[in-house]
Amino acid sequence: MPARLAFLGPRGTNTEAAALRYAPAATRVAGESITGVTDLVLRGEADEAIVPIENSLQGSVTETVDLLVHSLPLRIKREVVVPIEAALIAGPGTALADVATVYSHPQALAQSRQYLGATLPGAQQVATLSTAQAVERVVAEPGAAAIAPPRAAAIYGGVILAQGVQDDPRNSTRFVVLAPEDAPPSGDDKTSIVFNVDDKPGALVRIMQDFADAGINLTKIESRPAREALGVYVFLLDCQGHRLDPVLRDVLAGINRQCRWLKILGSYPLDAGPEPNG
């Protein structure tokens, strides 16, 4: 486990909850953005970083994905799945009927859209860099509330106005630990890759068929802009197995010969996560 673990701060965020689950004894170093968190590792101020990459309701966290695809010289070492519970938090003296403004991270606002529409339809929604930053702000702002993890209320002196305001009790977020090297084989692993193929009929199908012929299960595939020209994409793929497993190693070698380029983002132990709330 790392001695110093960078996370998306400040204290009380879901990313800190993931950091505590992954490495409870590590010294946690807060960053103000996903890019800022990974920069702490690149500058040697932290040994590893933990950042969100995918939410079960909102899909991929594009800032993390694009960093991995286009620029970041770090590999995925672990995944950590955390159930997401959101609360409506305000400062002392603010009641639910007083709330005119709701602050939170854009993902948290989106994941509580139904609750906000039904309970606070007239409230202005304002995006912040993190859920915890939203709580820090509202404890000193009458008539404001934040969507954040319940533990943030105790950390910043807020009052919980409502629990479980997320739209789906099965809501969970997948976090990844980024480090200079990925993990050794554990026997129950996942590998993430990104690749680009020529724009020809069947090019992507042939790559998918190589995995199928080898009996390798694909757990995720998505496309992202290649940043070359409009309509040009790269493909991100998660599959079962470790890049050093002989079968997967051979498949990746064969795919590499078919691609314009291929990048292995990392191999790491599979995390099914704890039971979600609700």
pLDDT in tens, 248-268: 999 999 999 999 999 999 999
Q: Report which of 134, 175, 194 is spatially closest to residue 50, judged by C-alpha positions.
A: 175
Rounded CA gap, 214 and 210, in Å? 6
Fold for domain 87-162?
A: D-Maltodextrin-Binding Protein; domain 2 (3.40.190)
Backbone angles phi, psi at 232, to 5 degrees: -105, 125
Fold: same for 4-83+171-179 and 87-162: yes
What pLDDT does residue 140 have?
93
What pLDDT does residue 276 have?
44
CA atoms within 13 A on the CB side of 215: 3
What pLDDT does residue 278 have?
41
The whole-number average pLDDT for the span 154-183 is 95
Catalytic residue among 128, 173, 191, 211: 173
Query: Is residue 173 among the annotated active site residues?
Result: yes
Catalytic residue among 175, 195, 211, 235: 175
The whole-number average pLDDT for the span 35-55 is 96
pLDDT per position as a tens digit, 46-56: 999 999 999 88
Q: Report which of 121, 131, 52 is spatially closest to residue 88, judged by C-alpha positions.
A: 131
Q: Report whether CATH 3.30.470.20 matches the domain 4-83+171-179.
A: no
Q: Where are the domains of the chain?
A: 4-83+171-179, 87-162, 189-269
Rounded CA gap, 82 and 215, in Å? 29
Give the global pTM. 0.86
CATH class assigned to 189-269? alpha beta
Query: Is residue 235 among the annotated active site residues?
Result: no
Owner of token pair 């380029």: 261
pLDDT per position as a tens digit, 210-258: 999 999 999 999 999 988 878 788 999 999 999 999 999 999 999 999 9
